[in-house]
Amino acid sequence: MELFTDEIMRDLLASSLKTATFDGKVWRDPDAGPGSTEGQFVDWLTIKEQAKSVTADVKRIRNHPLVPSDIPIYGYVYDVKTGRLVEVPEATVAGKLDNPQGSHARRNRVVESVARQARPRVPPRTLRL
């Protein structure tokens, strides 16, 4: 459910925000009080379809060259009424692991690499005769 679109924002600003009400479905302004038409010049960057937007973001992250393919990526929408995160199933599918078996191998390589780096480096001893 989308509460704000660019059009709704412009209409509300053209009248009065003080008298604007939300009836559970749409915003209304019963009193055409003092407003401004300046809102028509603002790009409000509202999102018409949240699930599609989240899925597109997850796909963009999944396909980024710096994001390893063995890291799962999920997409959620925050529900302001309940305070809960709602998973977007299409985004989860888009962000799935490319190679689920490879995640263990990569993790093992990372652990081995960290272990090698953690070893104390002892300078070579010089033998004097």
Q: Which domain holds residue 52?
A: 48-117
Ramachandran assignment for 122, one of left (phi > 0), alpha (psi -120 to 50 degrees), beta (any other):
beta
pLDDT of the chain, 129 residues: tens digit per residue: 556 777 777 777 777 666 677 777 767 666 666 667 777 777 777 788 889 999 999 999 999 989 888 889 999 998 888 889 999 999 999 999 865 554 445 545 555 655 555 555 555 565 555
Ramachandran assignment for 35, one of left (phi > 0), alpha (psi -120 to 50 degrees), beta (any other):
beta
Extract the tokens encoding 128: 């004097």
Residue 127 lies in a domain: no
Sequence length of the chain is 129
| Residues 65, 13 share a domain | no
Q: Are residues 77 and 92 in contact, defined by beta-carbon separation less than 8 angstroms?
A: no
**Closest alpha carbon to 16 in 6, 4, 28:** 28
Specify the pTM.
Answer: 0.54
| Residues 58, 37 share a domain | no
| Residues 53, 27 share a domain | no
